[in-house]
Amino acid sequence: MGAEAEDHQQAKRNAEPVLNPDPNPNRITPDQFLSWKRQKDADASTRKAEAAQKRAEDIAAGVVQMNGRELFLHQPWVFDNDLY
């Protein structure tokens, strides 16, 4: 009976989850984070600039409708109240 109890305790120990002594093994340094952040910001600003350029080209071609700000920038005479 002693062997069976010992086997049962051994199986119980094996069933317990093994805790990782280092909960975050993939730590990054502050320099790595700043490098990633600069790259992410550069990519975002590039995408934004490309979208703005495409929108300007579409407005010039008359493919899309202008909003009020774009209309004021491209055709300010529309907002001139001196004509009335």
- Give the separation between CA 38 and CA 8, rounded to whole angstroms: 55
Cβ partners under 8 Å of residue 74, min gap 6: 59, 66
pLDDT 10s digits, 9-38: 666 666 666 676 777 778 889 999 999 999
* Beta carbons of 70 and 59 less than 8 angstroms apart: yes
Q: Check residue 62 and report its DSSP letter.
A: T
Residue 49, Cβ neighbours under 10 Å: how many? 10
What pLDDT score does 74 carry? 83
pLDDT 10s digits, 29-64: 999 999 999 999 999 999 999 999 999 999 889 899
What pLDDT score does 53 carry? 96
For residue 42 the two structure tokens come to 């550069």
